[in-house]
Amino acid sequence: MFWNPRRLAKALCFGSLSLALSAQAQATNVAQGKPSSASSVHANGFPTQFGHAKAFNGIINTEDRWGSSIPPVPWNPEWVEVDLQAVHAITSITVYVSRDATFGRMLDFDVLARPSTTVDFQVVPGGAITDNPQTTRTLTFAQPVNARHVRLQCKRSTDDNICRVREFQVFGTRLANQPPSAAAGNDAVILLPSNTVQLRGTASDSDGTIASYRWEQVSGPTTAVLTSATSANATASSLAAGVYVFRLVATDNGGATGSDTMRVTVHPTSASPDARAGRFHVWNRGGTYDTAVFLPKDYGTQPGKKYPAVLSLHGRGGTTLNAAHTEVLANPEGFIRQLTPGKALVDTFPGIVIAPNGPRVGGAIDTWWNVDTTHALVLQALTVYDIDPDRVTLTGLSSGGSGVNDQILKYRTTYAGAMPLAYFAPRPTNYCDLEAFPIWTSGHYSDGTFGAWGWFNATDGYHPLVRQCPGYSGEVTVTVTLGSGHSGWDDFWSRPEAQSWLVSQHR
Ligand SMILES: [Ca+2]
Ligand SMILES: [Ca+2]
């Protein structure tokens, strides 16, 4: 035998091919014999040959094939699908896409997969095929595709416009059942005599379905009565004062479980509200600012409850302190004016309002808020009143708006949001510092203090200039109101959505 490089190369090539074939022979066609379905079945004259199960029966001939009954159109494709009965790591898919070597070939089709019925089908990598020239197509995945359902979706075919699949093979290995995830819902706080809580759970399973739910009590001062304990939503009743923990256990169709717990805190019946609740009182802090403080109607009734708080700064016209400290109550200016006796908001406002009255006691009549003194006042209020330190916001008008501006430029980590109205700001040199901080500002269009400084750009639809800052995350809202002149803040603060915003921000 003489040396022949071409023959040697051919032999090597066959050698590697046979290795590849033996590797493929070891892979299992996990679609064979599995339950199938199809959008339609072509039965004319061949009722025993065109069933969709024929695409998964392991027989690759011209007759045992699925065929669709009508010509496919792009917006209503014909499809055939297999349910692998469990999630598999799929390494390749081979589809025989013609009746035989020359006739009835699919031209445009997609191969799709999904891990469960709770998510949409996705086209597998390389699975969107157009102008197919071959009678057999194999898709091999660099990363295995995890799926339980695999679908072929035919959009265009040759000849008689009928889609045909002689055999649809899916190669891979079955994955272990993935446990479901459960969520027991938010913790709850109730006040006796109310002694019932709704338990609202949810669960999902990435590779199957939720077969059952079970609520159980983990701990608590007494044994609670659980109603509908085998549903996602249950009721815990006959609760006593103390802390209960409940667990939701979800079981999937493969028997795996996932769980989550939630806590119910039951407060004892309280004493009557704080004597100062539902109105404002003077928090006399001689040496800095005299301050009016509003406490909500239920203040003091729920031990441990923390309230959102609003720092309210007045404008130059509110600088009315007198020696008898009466003006702070008699002539309030700023947001706290919404809470003067007799107003409906007194009964419903859920936050604490801290309204210092400038100028500082014993200080010169200056119309600007001292940034450090004002901030110190807020920090002290956190120690005196039941304030949630993560829910303190700022609002002010005119020079009070500037006072808010100064707070958020120097101390904004203390605060959850700011609502400065009708004022000069932001200062052009540093307004980009305000990115990602919740701000709602407003003023009249024609107010020189508001319009002149570039809070908004009228040609851009009143969008704040802070939008142009690098990294801006979209938390600044500008509301330009109709009307003229400098005032208008009382109208703005009387809006329920503005009142709600002030107590809804979280640091
Ligand atoms: Ca077949
Ligand atoms: Ca599962």
Distance 41 CA to ligand 1 centre (A): 14
Is residue 389 within 8 A of residue 506, CB to CB? The reply is no
Strands 439-444 and 476-481: parallel
181-267 CATH fold = Immunoglobulin-like (2.60.40)
Cβ atoms of residues 428 and 454 within 8 Å: yes
124 Cα: distance to centroid of ligand 2 (angstroms): 22
Quick one: CATH architecture of 279-502? 3-Layer(aba) Sandwich (3.40)
- Coil, helix or strand at residue 146: strand
Residue-wise pLDDT for 60-84, tens only, equals 988 888 888 777 666 677 899 999 9
Distance 391 CA to ligand 1 centre (A): 66
Confidence of residue 183 (pLDDT cuts 50, 70, 90): very high
Is the Cα dihedral 104, 110, 115, 119 positive or negative?
Answer: negative
Which amino acid is located at 225 in the chain?
Answer: V
**Cβ neighbours around 136 below 10 Å, total:** 15
User: Of the bound ligands, which one is closest to the alpha carbon of residue 51?
Assistant: 1
pLDDT top residue among 213 and 289: 213
Mean pLDDT score of the chain = 83
Ligand with smallest separation from the Cα of 52: 1
Give the closest residue to 425 by CA, choosing from 416, 433, 413, 417.
433
**What's the confidence (pLDDT) of residue 104?**
81
Q: CA 96, 100, 105: angle at the middle one, nearest 5?
A: 65
pLDDT at 389 exceeding the cut of 80: yes
Higher pLDDT, 198 or 438: 198
Measured in whole angstroms, the distance separating CA 323 from the mean position of its chain's CA atoms is 53
Give the distance (Å) from ligand 1 centre to CA of residue 46: 14
Kindly give the distance from the C-alpha atom of residue 198 to the centroid of ligand 2, in angstroms, as a whole number.
27
Distance 54 CA to ligand 1 centre (A): 4
What class has domain 26-174? mainly beta
Supply the DSSP symbol for 133.
Answer: -
Query: Which ligand has the minimum distance to the alpha carbon of residue 258?
Result: 2
Provide the CA 408 distance to its chain's centre, in angstroms. 27
Quick one: which of 326, 374, 386, 397 has its CA closest to 350? 386
Domain ranges of the chain: 26-174, 181-267, 279-502
Q: Is the pLDDT of residue 451 over 60?
A: no
Q: What is the whole-number distance in angstroms between the Cα of residue 64 and the centre of ligand 1?
A: 5
Distance 51 CA to ligand 1 centre (A): 10
| Residue 46: pLDDT over 70 | no
Q: What is the 3-state secondary structure (H, E, C) of 236-254?
A: EECCCCEEEEEEEEEEECC
How many angstroms does the Cα of residue 95 sit away from the middle of ligand 1? Answer: 10
Output the CA 276–ligand 2 centroid distance in Å.
56
What's the pTM value of the predicted model, to 2 decimals?
Answer: 0.49
Q: What gap in Å lies between CA 30 and CA 85, rounded to an integer? A: 10
Give the ligand with the smallest distance to the CA of 181. Answer: 2
Per-residue confidence at 437, pLDDT binned at 50, 70, 90? Answer: confident
CA–centroid distance, 80 to ligand 1, in Å, is 12
